[in-house]
Amino acid sequence: MNRTTAIKKSIKLWVWLARTGKDKDDFDEDFPFEYLFSNKNGCYLCELYHNESLHCNNLCPLKRGTHPCYSVKEVFAKWGGADTELERKFYAMKIVNKLKNALVEG
């Protein structure tokens, strides 16, 4: 998988999350086999960068500076810690926008 494919698959996942408010673990119920994850993080970008640990690759578009995606300052962590479905949808859409920007920027 290349970067563009990983970002496009990620966009599809996060659009689904923004629309449904569900968790990433539910994604495989609605999508075909080629969208299943091959890593424990449930992330195409982690899969691309062979990230099975919690050490993020600097090329990941969900990482900002020294803050990995799961840092409390990042939108992914806010999505994971959201208290309501509306909040989860809001943060999922923010991730979609971040990924779309990364796709445009190359």
- Give pLDDT tens digits for 42-92: 788 877 776 555 556 677 888 777 777 777 778 888 998 999 999 999 999
Question: How confident is the prediction for the chain on average, in pLDDT?
Answer: 81
Place of tokens 């494919």: 5
**DSSP per-residue string spanning 67-87:** B-TTSTTSHHHHHHT-SSHHH
Q: Which domain holds residue 79?
A: 3-105
CA-based nearest residue to 10, from 96, 97, 104:
96
Number of domains in the chain: 1
- Tokens, residue 31: 């999508």
